[in-house]
Structure 1
Amino acid sequence: MTEPWYANLVNYIVAKKFPTSLSSSQRNKIKADARFYIWDDPYLWKMCQDQVIRRCVPDMEIPSILKHCHEYACGGHFGPQIKARKILECGVYWPNLFKDAHIFVNTCDRCQRYLYILLAVDYVSKWVEAIPTKCDDAKTVKAFVKSIIFSRTAYKTPIDMSPYRLIYGKGCHLPLKFEHKAYWAIKAFNQNIDEAGLHRNLQIQELEELRQNAYDNASIYKEKARSWHDKMVTRRVFEEGQDVLVFQSRLKNFPGKLRLRWYGPYKVKKVFPHGAVEVENPTSRKVIKVNGQRLKHYFKGVELQGEEDLLVEDPIYKD
């Protein structure tokens, strides 16, 4: 059985411990996120952005929740936004809720089996109606015209007005749909405060997931940048007793045109596993610890032994 996605959070909340493999930034992220989680054995609860406490579910429960909220009696094969709202209303939570809902809807077999799109356009008012259908026979077209076209234009409500006139204030023969689309849409939406509140809460929940994705993408970018930097760094292996030169790092900020950039040689005294090296000055016996990237090998020249003096005389030429 694999560990749930909230295993590190629970370990920190209960025992204040982190896995040894986590970096400092990942530990700080867990500390910041732990403020919104509550551990009540054996469940973990989260205080969401809409101030509703929801239960965190492990990875193995996610597929069944997605299936029930999409295909079964409480589902209805709706879009990803409505599906995500249904899941939140059930009182459960996991970090990639909106992303998983979008993927599940796109891969649903029944939702992918619509083969045709039936389209109707009113050339006077430029009114457009379109529905997905499974077949293109006369029966489907007849039902579409009766349910959509006639109800939009000819059907009269008890107050003796068509739905088009109720919304736009004019008959459907006038092309007011495009002229006042934004205004009437905002007006109709603002009349329902409860629906606007539910939609806003859903947007806030999705915003939290977007922030988590941005954090993950930033971590991936940093890892790629670190890998690229490591490729450009020349690997040098040092051993105790070797002669090395030390780079003057101050020259990076204050370069000197005629100043020496390497000083030494020094003797390697100790090599640490994390990249630091202790070097000793053979003259003053002073030991300093430097970064291994500031060192380079020093190769001594060939020393001549047993030197001899050769006397060179002027040549004598014979006739």
Structure 2
Amino acid sequence: MELDEVEIKDSFLEEQFFAISDFEVPWFADIANFLAANIIPKGLTHQQKKRFFNDVKNYFWDDPFLFCRCADQVIRRCVTRSETSKILEHCYSGPTGGHYSGTKTAHKILESGFYWPSLFKDPNRYVTSCDKFQRTGNISKRDEMPQNYTLSCEIFDIWGINFMGPFPNSYGNKYILVAIDYMSKWVEAQALPTNDARVVVRFLKRLFSRFGTPRAIISDRGTHFCNTQFEKTLKKYGAHHRIATLYHPQTN
């Protein structure tokens, strides 16, 4: 029986079958080898071994990742040097980045759950190389939005009260007592013959029965509001009396 002569092919179908690529040795290789296979690094001195076993207590291996328990007792995943550039780019100039300083960027990386030894140095170097950040400069007071105090209250919680008049006599009435709710701008008004404390107390009792007891009543320094009868009525219903500042149009 004669065998057919077959030409021997010296080349593989996959040209890179045995190609050797540049493989990065991660900074935590010795720690991962010890935790995964109990392999102690060779060539360490007594002090280096002591420090190695002290540091390795903060790490644990969960195949295929190594995790570190940081100083704030939060567990974060250890990443290689090749991964840090993408993480820095995302936390600094990504959709949720904001082009903050190096310290702020480092905190965002920690909040994302990543860790490597030079975590606080690399963001500072990355920020200094950012052209957009260098052109922005420091934010001054001129760039801040104005912060104005906002009155926080519920409807019918704070009423402003004041007299209008005197007007020409109309059916025996010369004054109008006006109360306005600061939240809803609801207005209550009543025509009165006088502007003494007695009619004010009667008006407030009718106001409380309709809208409930407010937290505060704001008025000016008129004697019809600053008197014993008025204060006793407010104390009875648990409301506070606030006096407006002179010549302050916002509370008029």
Q: TM-score, length-normalised on structure 2?
A: 0.47
Q: TM-score, length-normalised on structure 1?
A: 0.37
Q: Which is helix-richer, 1 or 2?
A: 1
Larger relative contact order (Cα-Cα within 8 Å, sequence gap ≥ 6): 2
